[in-house]
Amino acid sequence: MYDFKIEAADTPTMYADLALALHGLVDGEGDAIANMANAAALLWETLPEINWVGFYRNVEGELVLGPFQGRPACIRIKFGEGVCGVAAETRQVQRVADVNAFPSHIACDSASASEIVVPLIRDGELIGVLDIDSPRPSRFTEEDEAGCVRLGEILSKVL
């Protein structure tokens, strides 16, 4: 049984604990779907104030929904469209304080107010993106971004 209960005093410590837990979950496992599923569950259980967390995979140049937690979501996103598609096309983290102000934002859940999307890259190839939504505007800070990038580095090796 995996029983991760992360109650860190501050955000950097929480992400350090999350990184250790994530590494423990995925280390030695070569199945990408299993690793994405467990990662989504771990983040869902740990991160406060989120309403969706999961993956879109790069399938022949289009983002296709992968394992996630939260409400059912749009299945296919073109590169350059939405927060996820812009992250995929630019290969840059997208940290959006107000999704309604993001020109091509795709509203899968009207409760979402802010969002962070981390591109997952291995050996120069875009594998997919990690997407996290929050019902609170400006939910994701620079500390969240640094933490999520670290989690993305761990994931990129096992997807």
List interacting residues with ligand SME (CB under 6 A). Answer: 52, 73-74, 77, 82-85, 105-106, 108, 112, 115, 131, 133
In this structure, what DSSP letter does residue 101 have? G
Residue 89 Cβ vs ligand SME, minimum distance, rounded to whole Å: 11
Residue 56 and residue 108 in contact, taking contact as beta carbons nearer than 8 Å: no
In terms of CB distance, is 20 or 74 closer to ligand SME? Answer: 74
Residue 131 Cβ vs ligand SME, minimum distance, rounded to whole Å: 6
Beta partners for residue 85, in sequence order: none
Residue 83 Cβ vs ligand SME, minimum distance, rounded to whole Å: 4
In terms of CB distance, is 107 or 146 closer to ligand SME? Answer: 107
Sequence-distant contacts of 89-92: CB under 8 A, at least 24 apart: 90/119, 91/119, 91/121, 91/126, 92/119
Residue 13 Cβ vs ligand SME, minimum distance, rounded to whole Å: 27
- List the 125-134 sheet strands across, edge first: 76-78, 62-70, 52-59, 125-134, 114-122, 94-96
Residue number, nearest CB to ligand SME: 82
In terms of CB distance, is 15 or 68 closer to ligand SME? Answer: 68
Residue 155 is which amino acid? L
In terms of CB distance, is 32 or 129 closer to ligand SME? Answer: 129
